[in-house]
């Protein structure tokens, strides 16, 4: 019987999804200036490409939630999501 490895989930904080890469890159640059580990993740749905801006990833969900709270205090509307 083959055993299956259980992957440890990772968490990221999503701050937006943009139709243009330029807008996403602008937000990433802003977040990086503030010290966050921001990146863009492309998402394809219904024939369209969205550029999701996320911070992380974090192995610990509580840590991701704490980062999301800091981002909320900075005026963002963060959502903690499984990564990738």
Whole-structure pTM value: 0.84
Tens digits of residue pLDDT in 52-62: 999 999 999 99
Residue showing tokens 């299956």: 4
How far apart (Å, rounded) are the C-alpha atoms in residues 63 and 15?
Answer: 16
Tens digits of residue pLDDT in 27-36: 999 999 999 9
Cis, bond preceding 57 (omega within 30 deg of 0):
yes
* pLDDT at residue 1 in the model: 53
Nearest to 54 by CA among 67, 63, 45, 66: 67
């Amino acid at each position: 019987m083959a055993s299956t490895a259980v992957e440890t989930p990772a968490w990221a904080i999503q701050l937006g999804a943009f139709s243009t890469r330029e807008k996403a890159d602008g937000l990433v640059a802003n977040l990086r200036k503030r010290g966050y580990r921001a990146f863009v993740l492309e998402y394809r749905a219904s024939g369209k490409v969205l550029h999701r801006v996320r911070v992380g990833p974090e192995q610990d969900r509580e840590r991701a939630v704490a980062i999301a709270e800091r981002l909320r205090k900075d005026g963002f509307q963060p959502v903690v999501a499984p990564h990738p």
